[in-house]
Amino acid sequence: MTSRRPIASRNARIIQGAARRLAATDITPNQISQASIGFAALAAVAFWLSGIGGTGLAIAMLLLAALAVQLRLLCNLLDGMVAVEGGKSAPDGPFWNEAPDRLADILILAGLGMASGAPGLGLVAATLAVLTAYLRELGRAEGAPADFSGPMAKPHRMAAVTLGVVAAAIELAAIGSSLSLKAALWIVILGTLVTVLRRAARLIAALKSRS
């Protein structure tokens, strides 16, 4: 493991080209990180609006939320690439690399909870998501490698949310229900709970091995 999340799409030509173009502008990695909060907030608002309008509006807002979730992930990918490969890292970069991620997780998962009619479950999912990051950073503070293990790390959570939301939009158009939202939320909760327990066990084992 390394201190940088292993992401296969980082090697994609289109992503590398986008990172190079951004690095050649006045846009900073911190600004890209901050933009991820904006996209997460857009997803949360879209989730909220999906529950207060008619079917057409709900479908449109769910699709907008799915797009915003993916744009949040794109920001998470590009900020690091512009900082590292583009040579534009800043002293406060570690803060902007981590803090927006935690807020984005909360906004998106709490929003999903509202859209599914189970806001409490959304808060549970958000809490577990923050715990996964806490355990990773606690391990790093104790000198252990960063633990990005799953089965429901950030990219997996956002993939589950995106697929669930798109499935719900299709379901809503076809039969007028959106049970896929709650199903996606439960998948995120259970998968993230396993991730928390797994990372905790790995950290405890690493700390014990020092003695």
Report all structural domains of the chain as residue ranges with CATH numbers, in order of start. Answer: 8-208 (1.20.120.1760)
- How much is the average pLDDT of 76-97? 92
For residue 10, the model assigns a pLDDT of 86
Q: What Rg, from alpha-carbon coordinates, does the chain have?
A: 18
Across the chain, mean pLDDT equals: 94
* DSSP class of 9: G
- How much is the average pLDDT of 129-153? 94
53/111 Cα distance (integer angstroms): 16
Per-residue model confidence as pLDDT tens digits over 20-68: 999 999 999 999 999 999 999 999 999 999 998 889 999 999 999 999 9
**Would you place residue 85 in the very low, low, confident or very high pLDDT band (cuts 50, 70, 90)?**
confident
For residue 1, the model assigns a pLDDT of 38
**Would you place residue 9 in the very low, low, confident or very high pLDDT band (cuts 50, 70, 90)?**
confident
- How much is the average pLDDT of 136-159? 94
54/16 Cα distance (integer angstroms): 41
Name the helix (H) or strand (E) containing 185. helix 179-208
Across 128-195, the runs of DSSP E, i.e. the strands, are none
**How is residue 94 written in tokens?**
């570690």
**Would you place residue 3 in the very low, low, confident or very high pLDDT band (cuts 50, 70, 90)?**
low
CA angle at residue 71 from 21 to 67, to 5 degrees?
A: 135
Name the helix (H) or strand (E) containing 114. helix 93-116
Which has the minimum average pLDDT: 40-49, 80-89, 181-190?
80-89
- How much is the average pLDDT of 101-112? 98
Question: Is residue 94 pLDDT above 50, yes or no?
Answer: yes
**Would you place residue 16 in the very low, low, confident or very high pLDDT band (cuts 50, 70, 90)?**
very high
pTM (2 d.p.): 0.94
